[in-house]
Chain A
Amino acid sequence: MSTMVANNKRSFGSTLWDYLTTVDHKKIAILYLVAGGFFFIIGGLEALAIRWQLVKPMNDFVSAGLYNELITMHGTTMIFLAAMPLIFAFMNAVVPLQIGARDVAFPFLNSLGFWLFLFGGIMLNVGWITGGAADAGWTAYAPLSTTSPGEGVDYYVLGLQISGAGTLIGGINFLVTIVNMRAPGMTYMRMPLFTWTAFVASALILFAFPALTVGLFLMMFDRLFGSGFFDPNMGGNSVIWQHLFWIFGHPEVYILALPAFGIFSEIISTFSRKRLFGYSAMVFATVLIGFLGFMVWAHHMFTVGMGPAANSIFAVATMAIAIPTGIKIFNWLFTLWGGNIQINTPMLWSLGFIPTFTLGGMTGVMVAAASADYQFHDSYFVVAHFHYVIVGGVVFALFAATHYWWPKMFGKILNDTLGKVTFWLFFIGFHLTFFIQHFLGLMGMPRRYWVFLEDQGLDLGNAISTTGAFLMGLGTIVLLYNIVVTSVKGEKVGSDPWDARTLEWAIPSPPPFYNFKQLPLVRGLDPLWIEKTEGRKGMTPAEPISDIHMPNNSFLPFVMSLGFFIAGFGFIYQKYDLVWLSLVFIGMGIALGAMLMRSVKDDLGYHIHKEDLVKEAKE
Chain B
Amino acid sequence: MKDWMGKIRTLSVFSLMVVFLSACGRDNLTALVPKGYGAEESLRVIIITVIVMIVVFIVVMAIFIFVLMKYRQKKGQENMIPKQTEGNKTLEIVWTVIPILLLIVIAIPTVAVTYDLADETEKEDSLNINVTGKQFWWHFEYAEEQIQTSQDLYIPVGQKVYLNMLSSDVIHSFWVPSLSGKMDVNPDNENTMYIEAYEEGVYWGKCAEFCGDSHSLMDFKIVAVSQEEYDQWVTDMQNVDAEAVPESTTAQEGKALFEDSCLSCHAVGNTPSVGPNLSNFGDRSTIAGVLEHSEEELVEWILDPGSKKPGNGMLDAPYLEEKSVSEEDAEKIAEYLLQLKASEITPDSAQ
Taking beta carbons and an 8 Å cutoff, which residues of A are in contact with B? 63-65, 68, 136-137, 141, 143-144, 147, 232-233, 237-239, 272-275, 277-281, 303-305, 307-308, 311-312, 315-316, 319-320, 322-323, 326-327, 329-331, 333-334, 336-343, 351, 354-355, 358-359, 362-363, 365-366, 369-375, 377-379, 439, 442-444, 446-453, 455-458, 533
Given A144-B171, A312-B110, A342-B73, 8 additional A-B pairs, CB 8 A: A315-B114, A322-B103, A323-B100, A333-B63, A358-B56, A362-B57, A378-B209, A444-B30
Q: Which residues of A contact B19 (CB under 8 A)?
A: none
What is the bound-complex CA distance between A326 and B78, given in angstroms?
A: 31
A535 to chain B, nearest CB (A): 13
Contact A375 B181 (CB under 8 A): yes
* B191 touches A (CB below 8 Å): yes
Residues of B within 8 A of A342 (CB): 73, 78
Query: B residues within 8 A CB of A341?
Result: 67-68, 71-73
Q: How far is the CA of A338 from the CA of B73 in the complex (A)?
A: 11
State in angstroms the CA–CA spacing of A336 and B67 once bound together. 7
A280–B92 Cα distance when bound, in Å, is: 11
A326 touches B99 (CB 8 A): yes
Complex CA–CA separation, A337 to B88 (angstroms): 12
Question: Which residue in B49, B61, B175, B212 is a CB contact (below 8 Å) of A372?
Answer: B49
Which of B25, B88, B109, B181 is the one whose CB lies under 8 Å from A334?
B88
Distance to closest chain B CB from A452 (angstroms): 7
Chain B residues within CB distance 8 Å of chain A:
22-26, 29-32, 38-39, 41-43, 45-46, 49-50, 52-53, 56-57, 60-61, 63-64, 67-68, 71-73, 77-78, 80-88, 91-92, 95-96, 99-100, 103, 106-107, 109-111, 113-118, 169-171, 173, 175, 177-178, 180-184, 186-189, 191, 204, 206-217, 219, 290, 310-311
Kindly report which residue of chain A lies nearest to residue B72, judged by CB atoms: A341
Contact A354 B64, beta carbon cutoff 8 Å: yes
Residue of B46, B73, B92, B188 near A366 (CB, 8 A) is B46
B71 touches which of A331, A337, A439 (Cβ 8 Å): A337
Contact (Cβ within 8 A) B175 A446: yes
Contact A63 B64 (CB under 8 A): no
Q: B189 contacts A305, CB within 8 Å?
A: yes
A32 to chain B, nearest CB (A): 31
Chain A residues whose CB sits within 8 angstroms of the CB of B99 once the complex forms:
322-323, 326
With both beta carbons as reference points, the residue of chain B lying nearest to A321 in the complex is identified as B103
Measured CB to CB, the nearest residue on chain B to A359 is: B57
CB distance from A51 to the nearest CB of B (A): 15
Contact A374 B182 (CB under 8 A): yes
Question: Does B180 contact A374, Cβ atoms closer than 8 Å?
Answer: yes
Contact A327 B63 (CB under 8 A): no
**Sampled A-B contacts (13; CB under 8 Å):** A274-B83, A281-B87, A303-B173, A303-B182, A305-B191, A308-B115, A320-B103, A330-B92, A370-B111, A442-B25, A451-B216, A451-B217, A457-B26
**CB atoms of A305 and B45 under 8 A apart:** no
> A446–B49 Cα gap in the complex (Å)?
21
Please state if A446 and B57 are interface contacts (CB–CB under 8 Å).
Answer: no
A200 to chain B: closest CB distance in Å?
A: 19
The answer, among A238, A239, A369, A444, for a CB contact under 8 Å with B106, is A369
Contact A315 B107 (CB under 8 A): yes
Contact A137 B42 (CB under 8 A): no
Contacts known (A372-B49, A444-B26, A446-B175); A329 close to B60, Cβ less than 8 A: yes
Is A275 touching B49 in the complex (CB atoms < 8 A)? no
- Whole-angstrom CA separation of A253 from B100 in the bound complex: 23
Determine the chain A residues whose CB is within 8 A of the CB of B311 once the complex forms: 64-65
Quick one: given A272-B82, A446-B175, are A303 and B181 in contact (CB under 8 Å)?
A: yes
Task: Give Cα A338 to B78, complex, Å.
Answer: 14
Chain A residues contacting B64 (CB-CB under 8 Å) are 333, 336, 354-355
User: CB < 8 Å: which of B30, B111, B117, B210 contacts A374?
Assistant: B117
Q: Is the CB of B114 within 8 A of A444?
A: no
List of 3 A-B pairs having minimum Cβ-Cβ separation, nearest first: A374-B181, A443-B25, A371-B113
Report the nearest A residue to B119, measured CB to CB.
A308
Interchain nearest-CB distance for B258 vs A (Å): 28
Cβ-defined contact, A63 with B84, below 8 A: no
In the assembled complex, how far is the CB of residue A30 from the closest CB belonging to chain B, in whole angstroms?
32
CB-based nearest A residue for B91: A334
* Whole-angstrom CA separation of A247 from B285 in the bound complex: 43
**Bound complex: CA of A173 vs CA of B118, how far in Å?**
46
Q: How far is the CB of A587 from chain B (nearest CB, A)?
A: 32
Cα A366 to Cα B50 in complex, Å, equals 7
A136 to B171, CA, bound (A): 12
A303-B184, A371-B114 known; A279-B213 Cβ under 8 A: no
Please determine whether B110 and A369 come into contact, CB atoms closer than 8 angstroms. Answer: yes
> Out of B29, B72, B207, which one reaches A457, CB within 8 Å?
B29
Q: Is the CB of B72 within 8 A of A275?
A: no
B301 to chain A, nearest CB (A): 15
Q: Which residue of A lies closest to B65 (CB)?
A: A355
Partner of A327, one of B30, B67, B92, B187: B92
What is the CA–CA distance of A341 and B60 in the complex, to the nearest angstrom? 18
Residues of chain B with a CB closer than 8 A to A343's CB: 72-73
Pick from A233, A280, A369: contact of B49, CB under 8 Å: A369
Q: Which of B24, B87, B96 contacts A279 (CB 8 A)?
A: B87
Nearest residue, chain A, Cβ from B98: A326
A45 vs B227: C-alpha distance in the bound complex, in angstroms?
53
Contact in complex: A65, B213 (CB < 8 Å) = yes
Contact A355 B61 (CB under 8 A): yes
A379: chain B residues at CB < 8 Å are 175, 208
> CB < 8 Å: which of A232, A323, A339, A373 contacts B188?
A232
- Given A312-B111, A366-B53, the answer on whether A64 and B214 have CB atoms closer than 8 Å is yes
How far is B213's CA from A338's CA once the two chains are assembled, in angstroms? Answer: 56
CA distance in complex: A136, B211 (Å): 8
On whether the beta carbons of B87 and A277 are closer than 8 Å, the reply is: yes
Q: Which residues of B contact A278 (CB under 8 A)?
A: 86-88, 92
Point out the residue from A279, A369, A451 that lies within 8 Å of B45, measured CB to CB.
A369
- Residues in chain B near residue A316, CB distance under 8 A: 107, 110-111
Q: Which residue of B lies closest to A139 (CB)?
A: B210
Collect the chain A residues with CB atoms within 8 Å of residue B206's CB: 444, 446
A355 to B53, CA, bound (A): 13
Which residues on the B side are within 8 Å of A238 (C-beta)?
Answer: 171, 186-188
Determine which of A273, A275, A277, A456 lies in contact with B26 in the assembled complex, contact meaning CB atoms within 8 Å.
A456
* Cβ contacts under 8 Å, B68 to chain A: 336, 341, 351
Query: How many whole Å from B219's CB to the nearest CB in chain A?
Result: 7
Q: Is the CB of A305 within 8 A of B184?
A: yes
- Whether B210 contacts A141 by the Cβ 8 Å rule is yes
Instruction: Give chain A residues whose Cβ lies under 8 Å from the Cβ of B181.
Output: 303, 371, 373-375, 377
- The complex places the Cα of A450 from the Cα of B43 at a distance, in Å, of 27
- Using known A-B contacts A64-B214, A238-B171, A278-B92, determine if residue A304 contacts B186 with beta carbons closer than 8 Å: yes
Q: Which residue of B lies closest to A458 (CB)?
A: B25
Q: How far is the CA of A279 from the CA of B88 in the complex (A)?
A: 11
Write out the residue numbers on chain A whose beta carbons fall within 8 Å of the beta carbon of B180. Answer: 374
A439 proximity list for chain B (CB < 8 A): 23, 25
Report chain A residues within 8 Å CB of B114. Answer: 308, 311-312, 315, 370-371
